[in-house]
Amino acid sequence: MRAFDIDSMNLVKRAVKAYVPIITPLILLLFRKANDFQIAMETKGFGAPVEPTEIETLTACPADYLWLAFIVGVFVLCTVLKFT
């Protein structure tokens, strides 16, 4: 507590010298976090008058696996041709 002897101070001096320097950064931190939470909630659409959009979950179809096999095959072919 910044090397103050709090027990020997009266109530007003204790509040000004000891607690104000400690409480002020905490209050500023709370304001900053509240602003971050407000931005996050607005980004997610809380409080919007319409239905909020959600992330669409995509699944892999057989064509995706064919393209993956093709790309891996081209990579393997290029690697083999480079080292032979």
One-letter amino acid identity for 33?
Answer: K
Q: How many angstroms separate the Cα of 47 from the Cα of each of 6, 34, 37, 43, 44?
A: 46, 16, 13, 10, 9
Residue 83 is predicted with a pLDDT of 92
Average pLDDT per block of 10 residues along the chain, 84 residues long? 65 75 89 92 76 83 97 97 92
Q: What is the DSSP string of 22-66?
A: HHHHHHHHHHHHHHHHHHHHHHHTTT-SSPPP-PPPP---HHHHH
Residue 2 is predicted with a pLDDT of 56
Residue 5 is predicted with a pLDDT of 67
pTM: 0.41
Residue 70 is predicted with a pLDDT of 98
Alpha carbons within 13 A on the beta-carbon side of 11: 0
Domain ranges of the chain: 6-83
